[in-house]
Structures are given as C-alpha cells and as structure tokens.
Chains A and B, each alone.
Chain A
Amino acid sequence: MTKQIHLAAHFPGVNNTTVWSDPAAGSHIEFDSFRQFAQTAERGRLDFLFLAEGLRLREQNGLIYDLDVVGRPDTFTVLAALAAVTEHIGLTGTINSTFNEPYEVARQFASLDHLSGGRSAWNVVTSWDAFTGENFRRGGYLAQGDRYERARTFLATALELWDSWRGDEILADSGTGQFLATAAPGTFRHRDAFFDIAGQFNVPRSPQGRPVIFQAGDSDEGRDFAAASADAIFSRYSTLEAGQAFYADVKGRLPRFGRTRGELLILPAATFVLGDTNAEAAEIARDVRRAQVSPQTALMFIEQLWNTELSGFDVDGPLPSFDPVVSDTLISQGRASVRQFAKDPVALAAEWRGRAEAGNLSAREVVIEVTGRQSFVGSAETVATTINELVQADAADGYIMVPHITPGGLAPFVDQVVPLLQERGVFRADYTGTTLRDHLGLAPLRRAEQTTAARAVAAG
C-alpha cells in the first residue's frame, strides 16, 4: 500500500548549517521571521513546524562561540504567538526535562494545546551537564543512567497530570450553578525516585488530550523510551540504508510495549538544495557548504576534534600533523556534536588525514567534506522522487526539512517539491483534520489509552 508522506519544517537553528552570511538571510529573533516561516509551512500543508532549544550559549576555549547564529526566543512563547497567525499547522517545541518540573511543563503544554486548538507537540529532551545547569536553580549534573530515568519518570508524571482531567468535568451550567461536575478535578499523586508530588492539576483537559510526544534519543535506552511512549521520533538517519535499519529497529520494538507500527512515526531531519537541474543543484550545494564552513568555522571544527586551541593555524594548508589531545576536559561546551568527536578523536583524526591525502584536500576542504552534506540535492523532480522512494522503502515516514536560510529557505521546497508530491497522491492537497494528531494520522486519544501509555512509561 502506498504510504502518505509526512512533512514538517525545522526553523533554522544555531549550527553552522544555517547560513547567516547570505544576503537573503533574515532575523533569527524577530517575530516576523517566525510568522513568515510558519505561514510558508502552512501554505505547503506541512504537518508541523519544529523548534529546537538551547539553554546556555555555547563556548569554545572558554569564550562564547560567535561564528554561528547566536540567540533564540523562548519556545513556548513563540509557539503560542504562532498559533495566532496560523490555523492548521502543528506546533512542536523542544523542551528540556532536566531544568523544569512536570507540573509547570504539563500546564504549559496543556495551555498551548488549548490556545492552538489542539496543535501542540513536545520534543522531550534531556540535558545533563553542569555547564547548562549554571543557569538554573535545579543546576547540577545527572549521571548518564539517571538521565533517561529522570526523563522517563518526568514524562510519566506529565502524562498523569494530563490524564488527571477526564474531559467531562466542566459543566458551566449557569442554570444549576454547577461549574464543575466533580469536587476535586485534576487530583493526582506521583511518587518515585525523582518526583514526589501530589495535589490538583489546574488546566482542564486540552483538545488533543495531551501534546503529541516526540523523542530524539538514539541510544538503546532512547529507542526503548521512544517505543514505549513517543508518537514520533525526530531521527538523524536520512539515507536509505541507515534509515531502513533505524526504522526496522524502532518499529520492531513496538510490540513489546503493546503498540502497533502506525502509532510511532519516524521522521528524520533532512537538509536540501534545489536547482533547475541536478547539475545546477549540485553546484549550489557546493557553494552552500563552503558558506557553511567559513575559514573561521573550519578552524573551530578542527579545534573541537583536536581538543586544543590552534591560533595561527592555516586552514588552507594541511591538517595538524600531531594527534588530538585526549582529555576529559573539552574545549567546547554546550554542543552535542562534540561528544561524537570525543569518542575516539585519534582514530577520527586519522580518518580525516586519510581523506585529505586521498583527495589532496586542505584542512578546510576536509571539514567541508565531513560535515554538513545535504540530504537531498537535485531538481524538484529528483528531490520529490527521492523522498517518496525513501518513505515507500520504509527508510522513514516522512522528513523534517531544515532549510539553511532564515526565514525564506523553506519556500522553494514548498513551492516546487510539495506540488509534485501532491500530484502523485502521496501528500495531502489540503488539511483534512484540525489537530496535529489528525495530520499525523494518529487516532484521537481516549483517556484509557493514555493511562496505558503512562503505565508503560512508568514500568519502563
């Protein structure tokens, strides 16, 4: 059976993939950029837009990192504002479970769901570093094992809070004078190693019952967490082989949690470059990659892998001849990608040198090669065909498109690729439902189902 494709749009983030130096690049903070981005996505009938989050500005060599876009708005607040200027599109926010409490996050998402008429989604992430913790009263450091445990119980607690209102409590009957059908709505009690809370939740049940739950973890624990409790996974595997492997693995875990394949969508992030022809797109893609890796950015990547300051280093010459500094102390803080570098920096440096030798590449050219290759490059026809083939081959259920220009970079995809997918009958011509669950093809929640989900999460 032909699958329907799910498409979403990721507001360009604070990595070097976002090309702020392009003359077309607009503000990353003014509301007009968000409005334009969201309205473009809605014009393309996309399922949802996606916002990332960061809670401490990145540092390198003990200084605030200044080469990428820096600065972004508060996730909840900008999503609530976007609900005012859009009608259909889902509003997905990344919210950290480490530096928050379940009662507050649950009421913020329930509020967002009410205020958007059932369009909210939560990408549940965890953090662990004391570096970010320095901005919070919760502060501190969580060991790797405790991280998922706390995230799991945080979500379980939030699910209990959303379920604490059944949805039939409010009568608002002015004749009888009964506002509530029950004297103690929202009553809850939750106790585990991380949370010991009780009382009454103060937001009535929202249109979707709760936000759609996204998860982005990739470890074995993360995949189980998602299989137990998420509605969708924000993954990094946008190629055929890696995508199929991840897809099969995660979907294969669902039966253990009493769930079916359609209850968890796999949605990798994907970058793209379009051209009139495939050859033109390839050429533009090369230019974009050079813009994404300025000489200064190339040096920063090399410093991250070598884990040392290399002032005066010429990125147009060869890579450093010495091995990276292996240490628990990293020169870069607040950046997830650096942990990939830190796993085995000596071997990775050898691999980079191998590439340099094979292709006679300068240090910067190696960085351009190894980072930020776009997922989809080609004519609109090629990209539409590729996306459809990948989805039909079970490499994904759809893609979260990440443009490299804010806010206008999404428009070519919406105007050129989406119509081709609509013509082929694999993407909606118009919205057919009102909630994000509708767009994602997820059945409406009944309270009993949610309780099952909460139990599954609690049981781990």
Chain B
Amino acid sequence: MVPTPAPLHLAVALDGAGWHPAAWREPDAQPQRLFTAGYWTELARHAERGLLDFLTIEDGLDLQSDDRFQADSRTDRVRGRLDAVLIAARVAPVTRHIGFVPTAITTHTEPFHLSKAIATLDYVSAGRAGIRVQVAARAGTTAHFGRREILPLEPDRLGDPDTRRLIADHFDEAADYVEVLRRLWDSWEDNAEIRDVATGRFIDRDKLHYIDFEGRWFSVKGPSISPRPPQGQPIIAALGHASVPYQLIARSADVGFVTPRDAAHAAEIVAEIRTEQARAGRAGMTVHVFGDLVVFLDETKAAAVARRQRLDERAGTEYHSDAHIFTGTAIGLADLLQEWQAAGLSGFRLRPAALPHDLTQLTERLVPELRRRCLFRARYEADTLRGLLGLGRPANRYAAA
C-alpha cells in the first residue's frame, strides 16, 4: 500500500519588490507603490488565491543595507519600509483565510506593546495572526534608540568569545521576550468578561492574572490590557542559521525557518532542533521546521537561469543569500521540496526573487503541481492560522485545571 504523503505547508516571504536587489527594475514590478496599502493588499490576496498557509513580512529598525554590519550608501536598491505589523493589520480585514506573520525586533522594543499588537492583529484577522521575532545586532540600529550600550558585531571578530556571548545574550533576550508575549496572551482567561449586571461586574477579576515576569533585560507585571486573542496563542516564528537560534526555535517557537544547503543538511538541522526541543521539555509539542528558499521560477530552467543572470547583471553583482537559491521550473522545485520534506521539514517559506513574477509562479505553477502529488490543500480547511498548521487551541497556562 502506498502511504499517503503528509501535506506540505507553504508560506511566502514578502519583502519590498522581492528578494533580488534588482527586482524593483523588472517590467512588472511596481516600485512606486511599495509604500501603499494597495500594493500589499494585492500581494496578500494573490497569496491567498494560492491557498498558502501564511505570508511573512520582513522588517527592521534601520534602513536596508547590503552590508550586514553597517549602513551602505547605495542608491540603486530599494530603501525604506513600512512597519510590518501595521501592514499586516491593514491587509488582514480584506482577506479571509491566509495567516499573517510580520517581523518584529525584540532587541529594542517593548514586549508589552508587541503582545497587545499581535493580540489585536489576531482580533482584526479573526484568528490568523503570528509574529516572527528577530534580534537586531547592528550598531546603527542601536544608535537609533540610544538607550543601551550594545557592543557592535564586527565582521572579523565573529568567532571571539565576547562576540559569541553577545549573540547568545541577544537570543536569550528574545527568549525572555517570547515568554512575556505568551504569558500576556494567557493573562486573561477566555471567559473573564462576564457582564454580570446583578453584581455590577464587567469582568471576573479572578480570571485575570499578573504575569510577574522578572528577567535580565526587563520585568513585566501584567496582565495585558487586551483580552486573550481568538487563537489563544498566536503563532511565534523565528529564523535561524546556527545552534543558538535553533535553541530559540526549539524552546520558544511554533515555526522555525531554517536554511539548509541540501536534504542531508536539512536532516541535521531538524535533528538538532528536535534534540533541543526534548531537552526543553517540548518533545510532545509540534514545532514546524520550514526550509527557507529563494526562488527564481519560470516555464523552463533555461528561462529561469537567464532571468537570474539578467537580474544579476542589472544589480552589478552575483546574488547571494543566506538561503539556498533555487532556479528552475515549478516541477523541479516540487521535486526538491519533496526530497527535503523526506528529510524532516514540514513546510517551506519561499522567498520570491521578484514580485509579482515569482509569486505568480508559486500560486499558478507550484501549488497545482504539489496538489497533483497530493502534497497540498485544495481548499482552506481551517479558519485560523493555528488550524492551518495543525495546531489546536492551547489551554491557558493560568486557568485552573
């Protein structure tokens, strides 16, 4: 008997005009509209027509730069971006099924604010919210806030013990941050609002809870000002390339984005995350591990290669990425996704090299191909993002058993 293959989860990573630095110059690009609601609405609706699980939106508290460590002064790249959580909130009410996982920086922001922002995103999307947490190590970002002395990362000192400790600190802070988000989301029990006219009480205050979080970087009293969101716990995601962020994924996240070179590497990463998960006492919990891929998709492999070359020529440099770059057809990509799925990944976050072209290829070529292989949904089977990811609505940690 042929086993039924497990379905794949698919997300699309939206960023500006696409991930290739020359994407904004493509004939079908809309670089003048990058800062409008209409641009993001069209992309989200497009992704929803393709029945994708969710979209992510990149963000940062500094201007984009080709240099990992500091600002550059290029004028030939997309620069400037809107707040990702607010883009998601602006688009969510005009979509019905797709999930929204905007990016937020944990290093300089307040967990109390972000917790209620994502709870509210969950309300305005009727249960389709998530958040991808990211640390910000660039010195330039730190100078935008001026509150903290954070040692800047320097390219030639990445292996130093001091630098390693600094990176570990950033991720420990992110873990504390996520812990506060989760506690605040649970700080109201689901039935805390009682509207009891006889006793004059709007809430049963015994069902609201102080979270009393105390950590190295912040302490937060609680409870949240916002009631528990529709999903109970919106999705938490993080991207990782090494053991320290893998630990954050294993201990704190619902979805991890990772960047394997090949199937064997994917298997190694998944094994490491599963080990960490067990060590953190989360062995029984679903933690999706998604492979991140940059995609150049066309009708033929030759066309995709030619387009990538053309984009590289326009950018003046060969495109590199932290993620594996796939250049080819939807069928070829489906083969690769299947192979990597067999190595233990449960889904993929695909980064379109150029928008809308590669998104169209995903929804009109890749998705039907995966469906032919019984690897992808034919319709949305759940109303919430947790539901799409096969996660139940979690019990409240503060509710009496």
Contact = CB atoms under 8 A, between A and B. Distances in A.
Which of B36, B83, B119, B314 is most buried by chain A, counting CB atoms within 10 A of its CB? B83
A295 interface: yes
B225 A71 contact: yes
A80 B89 contact: yes
Summarize A's interface: helix, strand, loop or mixed: loop
Contacts of B144: 103, 197-199
Contact of A114 (B36, B92, B219, B225): B36
Interface string A56-80: 1100000110111111111011101
B227 A77 contact: no
A144 B91 CA distance: 41
Contacts of B61: 103-104, 107, 202
B124 A204 contact: no
Contact of B24 (A56, A69, A174): A174
Interface stretch (B201-209, B249-257, B321-329, B388-396): B201-209
Nearest to A180: B75
Contacts of B226: 29, 71-74
B272 interface: no
Contacts of A83: 37, 90
A170 interface: yes
A180 B111 CA distance: 34
A436 to B, nearest CB: 16
Given A31-B123, A185-B80, A196 B221 contact: no
B81 A203 contact: yes
A183 B72 CA distance: 8
B76 A179 contact: yes
A100 B116 CA distance: 14
Interface in B63-110: 63-64, 71, 73-83, 85-87, 89-94, 108-110
A407 B75 CA distance: 48
A200 B89 contact: no
A20 B146 CA distance: 44
Contact of B146 (A77, A84, A174, A195): A195
B126 interface: yes
A77 B117 contact: yes
Given A80-B86, A135-B220, A85 B116 contact: no
B225 A57 contact: yes
A76 B86 contact: yes
A71 B146 contact: no
Contact of B117 (A20, A76, A179, A182): A76
Contacts of A71: 188, 193, 203, 225-227
Contacts of A72: 225-226
Contacts of B117: 74, 76-77
B190 to A, nearest CB: 12
A77 B29 CA distance: 28
Contact of A66 (B74, B93, B109, B201): B201
B79 A297 contact: no
B200 interface: yes
A70 B136 CA distance: 35
A134 B218 CA distance: 9
A111 B87 contact: yes
B361 to A, nearest CB: 21
A29 B123 contact: yes
A277 interface: no
Contacts of A139: 219
Interface in A34-73: 35, 54-57, 63-64, 66-73
A296 B75 contact: no
A294 B314 CA distance: 71
Contacts of A371: none
A183 B73 contact: yes
Contacts of A181: 75
B240 interface: no
Contacts of B113: 74, 99-100
A180 B78 CA distance: 8
B76 A178 contact: yes
Contacts of B62: 199-200, 202
B86 A112 contact: yes
B121 A179 contact: no
A20 B89 contact: no
A136 interface: yes
B209 to A, nearest CB: 10
Contacts of A110: 82
A117 interface: yes
B93 A81 contact: yes
A197 B108 CA distance: 13
A12 interface: no
B123 A30 contact: yes
Which of B81, B90, B226, B227 is most buried by chain A, counting CB atoms within 10 A of its CB? B90
13 contacts: A29-B123, A29-B226, A78-B123, A99-B112, A107-B83, A111-B86, A138-B147, A179-B75, A182-B75, A184-B71, A198-B144, A202-B62, A202-B79
Given A70-B202, A177-B22, 12 more contacts: A77-B86, A81-B120, A101-B145, A110-B82, A111-B86, A174-B27, A177-B25, A181-B75, A185-B79, A198-B146, A201-B63, A297-B200
Q: Which 7 A-B pairs have the closest CB atoms?
A: A296-B200, A137-B218, A172-B31, A81-B124, A80-B89, A77-B120, A134-B221
